[in-house]
Amino acid sequence: VKGKNNMSWDDVKYARRREEMVRRQIEARNITDPAVLAAMRKVPRHLFVSEALRHKAYEDYPLPIGEQQTISQPFIVAEMSQALDLGPSDRVLEIGTGSGYQAAILAEIAYRVYTIERLHPLYIQARRLFDQLQYHNIVTRYSDGTTGWRAQSPFDAIIVTAGAPQAPESLIDQLAIGGRMVIPVGDQYAQDLIKIIKDRRGVRHFSLGGCRFVKLIGEEGWRAG
């Protein structure tokens, strides 16, 4: 059954929940970047979780996506996206594709998104969804992302969506002059969201506050196991 604008009634229901999510969780907490707000209003977050969790997709918390991983809380996605200061010509690297939701938000704002995932089932699932939703400006890769993607570097922005003991040097190396990076830094229980800005004189670190992510596993993150 189709409602107005050729949307199904389900689409209408989720569009309403999405609008409510943006107002209560995002705008109310000082996210002001118009491009970030527009992206959060557009991307169908409910399609990035399993059918059983769809009804919770617009709630104010992370959700399991399988493989002991999670899709981040909507506010964290907005906060990290805003911190990257993205423009329409920017090329962005994401470490930790997961559900693909964060990559889709970035793809609405930036020119191209390169995203790396180390767990094969999540990589396959996200790829399929990007195809289905026609995100032709997202490039996926199945590998350990802690060493970045040198062939495609330098990047205008880098986002790490898993927590690490420190920002991997190889990622900082792959940041362009004028580039921005956000990464949760800390132990496996709690991290600080760190923003790194690179200019001609070097890099500067800023803290954006506390957060809690799953572990970044790999060569320059934590060892697996």
The continuous run of DSSP H or E covering 128 comes out as: helix 120-132
Q: Among 25, 70, 81, 82, indicate the residue that binds ligand SAH (CB under 6 A).
A: 70
| Integer angstrom CA distances of residue 212 from 34, 165, 178 | 26, 13, 27
DSSP letter (8 states) at residue 217: B
- CB-count burial class (<10 Å; 0-12, 13-18, 19+) for 51: exposed
CB of 93 to ligand SAH, least distance (A): 11
Tokens at 118, concatenated:
């180390």
Binding segment for ligand SAH among 36-44, 95-103, 128-136, 172-180 (CB under 6 A)? 95-103
Q: Shortest distance, CB of residue 26 to ligand SAH, whole angstroms?
A: 15
Is 218 an interacting residue with respect to ligand SAH (CB under 6 A)? Answer: yes
For residue 68, the minimal CB distance to ligand SAH (Å) is 8
Alpha-carbon torsion (35, 36, 41, 45), positive or negative: positive
Q: Which of 98, 148, 184, 186 binds ligand SAH (CB under 6 A)?
A: 98
Beta carbon nearer to ligand SAH, 12 or 38: 38
Residue selected from 36, 116, 181, 211 as contacting ligand SAH according to rule CB under 6 A: 116
| Alpha carbon distance 25, 99 (integer Å) | 20
Question: Are 173 and 148 contacting, i.e. CB atoms less than 8 angstroms apart?
Answer: yes
Cα separation, 30 vs 197, whole angstroms:
21
Neighbours of 61 (CB within 10 A): 12
Angle at 66 between CA 130 and CA 62, to 5 degrees: 85
| Nearest residue (CB) to ligand SAH, 99 versus 191 | 99
For tokens 């990559």, name the residue: 103
Q: Is 63 in the site for ligand SAH (CB under 6 A)?
A: no
| Binding range to ligand SAH, per CB under 6 A, among 23-31, 130-138, 140-148, 181-189 | 140-148
Is residue 25 a contact point for ligand SAH (CB under 6 A)?
no
Q: Is residue 72 annotated as a catalytic residue, yes or no?
A: yes
Does 125 help bind ligand SAH (rule: CB under 6 A)? no
Catalytic residue among 8, 50, 72, 99: 72
Q: Which residues are catalytic?
A: 72
In the complex, which residues of this chain contact ligand SAH (CB under 6 A)? 69-72, 95-96, 98-99, 101-102, 116-119, 122, 144-146, 161-162, 214, 216-218, 221
